[in-house]
Structure 1
Amino acid sequence: MQRNEIVEATDKIKENITETPSIGLILGSGLGVLADKIENAVTIPYKTIPHFPESTVSGHKGQLVVGKLEGKQVIAMQGRFHFYEGYTMKQVTFPVRVMKALGIDSLIVTNAAGGINENFQPGDLMLITDHINNLGDNPLLGPNDDELGVRFPDMSHAYDRDYIEHAEKCASELNLSIQKGVYVANTGPVYETPAEVKMLRTFGGDAVGMSTVPEVIVANHAGLRVLGVSCISNMAAGILDQPLTHHEVIETTEKVKENFLKFIGKIIATLPND
């Protein structure tokens, strides 16, 4: 039963930490640099935690970092798990369950994404206002454990409206221009074809990636408040006539890391405790 696995993983992490985290962070490709800013950091490799998968993707270090960031106690995933790596949806989202069990009540999810909205450009930061699950799977399929969440969770406001408003205010105070939009999750690991990008734009997507949605579904199931931020690392296929590579993704996130660090840092520093 997954609940037993959650307890075993949680107990192992508690052996290494003394403070209870209130905010969870999931750091996407090239964005793990935020965890390097955590003070009094305790680093726990995924391979030492029972039932945790291991990150296999470049740009994902594969460790938890626990400590204080901007005055708040946080637990950060420096690298996430993806459906395309061959993991089940329950494995992909297992860390969210564990972070909830450790005491977080808020989750900030970040990713690198391809821009579908033609008004975007590489290097933009986008607040996720909603998502489209195009993965063909769902982490809540199967029997429901009522102690973890309700059978039919409401996804009307999967991304907390107050948190989005708070993030917009932070961006304004930093004189940082940001975008807002709908994130589409595809399975990967291939990038989309131009025809698929055109379809996703018709569906109402603004950015596309290969993660985030499963974790957000489980976070909502667990009663966590969620904020999502995408780094537009490239324009999706067919918008610019150039090949897409993971190297380009990492290169772009490196260029925008200062804005990313300032933005997320400001959000965390001023995030209400209620």
Structure 2
Amino acid sequence: MARAVSTRTRFAWTALAWTIAFLMFFPILWTVLTSFKTEAEAIASPPSVVAFDWTLENYGVVQERSDYMRYLWNSIIIAGGSTLLGIAVAIPAAWAMAFVPGRFTRDILMWMLSTKMLPAVGVLYPIYLICIELGVLDNRAALVVILMLINLPIIVWMLYTYFKEIPGEILEAARMDGANLRSEILYVLTPMAIPGIASTILLNFILAWNEAFWTLNLTSVDAAPLTAFIASYSSPEGLFFAKLSAASTMAIAPILILGWFSQKQLVRGLTFGAVK
């Protein structure tokens, strides 16, 4: 029987949730507002929220100074490529851990997750030297592989969790009907885990899109994504806050739009298997 909740309690929790959501969204809102200010208004004290002279000048300057579409295309290729490659590697791995459990499955999963605790700068130097030796520094394909390996533990963990919610008897029935391993994964397991796979793809695409450490250190011109596009507006002469905000808004706009239209699928996938 559901527990009754008073109107006052429901209102308090709703107000708290909206307050937390606003505090989380406020930096993005402030960045967008600052992008429409002049440089003088951007550093004015006290700052004005909406009572300022709105201008599109910063966006015009950013477009003239930088090739935004090249940075955008690089981000799409790097984030999309690393995510799809990670999914292709992680689905068989998660299947094996979920349906062919071994003695050390949990230990392997914990070891994989522990690699995310290593500071990225700790492996920057060897990876940088490897890229130089292989001639793939400032190369999109190299970044696709590197970001895939960085996010692979999260992809495997998420898919493993979703796959564990699927009854193993269904796969056994498919084997009895003559399905081989490839057919079992492609035509039985994958369609049943579509919500979980979709949420994994979305989350890891966002992680790869926002990755700054590796993209800033392993690219210069040819493979530079939107993170490098934003960083280019930090100069030794100082920060141009209005132009930096315009560049940041242009960089986050595609991922915000993607997140907005896919939020239902993302929530559905993250809660996959939570209710029996």
Query: TM tier, shorter chain?
Result: under 0.3
Question: In terms of Rg, which structure is larger?
Answer: 2
What's the TM-score, normalizing by structure 1?
A: 0.26
Structure number with greater CO (CA < 8 Å, separation at least 6) is: 2
- Going by fraction, where is strand more abundant, 1 or 2? 1
What's the TM-score, normalizing by structure 2?
A: 0.26
